[in-house]
Amino acid sequence: MEFFDTQLLVHASEGRTSLESSDPWISSVVAQEFLLFQKSGGESNDYYLPLVPKRDRGIWVSRALADYARSHPPAARLRSGKRRTDSIILEFGDTFPVTVEYSHRAIANALNARMVPFILAYAECVDAASRRVIKSRLRFLCDVGIKCKPLTDRSARLAQDLLRDFTERYTIKNNFRNTLNDIMILAIALDERARLLTDDRLLAIFSEDFLTDTVLGSENLYEIDLSEDVGKIDRRPPLESKGYINSRWRVRYGPV
């Protein structure tokens, strides 16, 4: 199982590189960045995707759901999508702002079921140029057969643990959401004991310092191998020993 970071996916979709993997995956965090879910400031989403029951997933049902969605104006779809989607709330005490992660299970389920018309119907809440990008990128994901793993409460908690370690040594980006996204991408790969391919040098350095001795590559491509317990993962000190037991960092499911 190999997870790809967002920028590698963008480059591959534009024909600048190729995804050489027999088992390509992305996290729902990457899916949302790639498909332009999140506003540039990171405070909310540009669109949301309803969580579809398992019995209703599939290409043919996708078209029916898309037709129904398009019977309502985009503003109504935006409200409906937000109301009917999944959400995970990450709280960081007084350290960072509360972050609500929407539509992670929804986008993973829809991508894995190849429900392209359904996704596009809700993406019509964005401007025309963005819609063209989303449509092209969805076609790319289907063509290369990428599968998607959602952010869960477990991987979100793991992301909080990693973020604590990260902020002890490094400065976060000006936009906190960008740093959080990077860490959540790493956390999902770690939770799945997979390999993560990324062009993020700092993420690779952090992983080698805190998680694994197996980080390969240089400059534009790093392979962070989290597929085996190589030692550092299990040697990380428990949160209690680091004084975090009363830190008020927690994860809970929505609604808000």
Residues contacting residue 221 through CB under 8 Å, at least 6 positions apart: 8, 197, 198, 199
pLDDT category of residue 245 using cuts at 50, 70 and 90: very low
**From CA 26, how far away is CA 30, in angstroms rounded?**
6
Domain boundaries, the chain: 2-253
**From CA 26, how far away is CA 35, in angstroms rounded?**
12
> Which one-letter DSSP state was computed for residue 212?
-
What interhelical angle do 201-210 and 153-169 show, nearest 10?
Answer: 100
Segment 34-67, tens digit of pLDDT: 999 987 666 689 999 999 988 777 776 788 888 9
Contact between 105 and 87 under an 8 Å Cβ cutoff? The reply is: no
On average, the pLDDT of the chain sits at 88
Of the chain, the percentage scoring pLDDT greater than 90 comes to 68
Residue 201: which region, alpha, beta or left (left: phi > 0; alpha: psi -120 to 50)? alpha
Contact between 17 and 197 under an 8 Å Cβ cutoff? The reply is: no
**From CA 33, how far away is CA 176, in angstroms rounded?**
15
**Residue 157, helix vs strand vs coil:** helix
Segment 191-224, tens digit of pLDDT: 999 999 999 999 999 998 888 777 788 778 999 9
| Upper half-sphere CA count for residue 239 (Cβ side, 13 Å) | 15
What interhelical angle do 74-83 and 116-123 show, nearest 10?
Answer: 110
Q: Is the pTM higher than 0.75?
A: yes
**From CA 115, how far away is CA 190, in angstroms rounded?**
27
- Contacts of 31-35 with C-beta under 8 Å, sequence gap 24+, read 31/107, 31/108, 31/111, 31/148, 32/103, 32/104, 32/107, 33/6, 33/181, 34/6, 34/9, 34/10, 34/137, 34/141, 35/107, 35/119, 35/123, 35/134, 35/137, 35/138
In DSSP notation, 20-31 reads: --SSEEEEHHHH
Q: Is pLDDT of 239 > 60?
A: no
**From CA 47, how far away is CA 56, in angstroms rounded?**
21
Tokens 């550092």 correspond to what residue?
232
Q: How far is CA 106 from the centre of its chain?
A: 12
Measured in Å, how far apart are the chain's first and last C-alpha atoms?
Answer: 34
Q: Is pLDDT of 131 > 60?
A: yes
> Which one-letter DSSP state was computed for residue 94?
T
**Average pLDDT score over residue span 217-239:** 68
Tokens 């998680």 correspond to what residue?
211
Segment 18-38, tens digit of pLDDT: 888 889 999 999 999 999 998
pLDDT of residue 51: 93
**Residue 53, helix vs strand vs coil:** coil
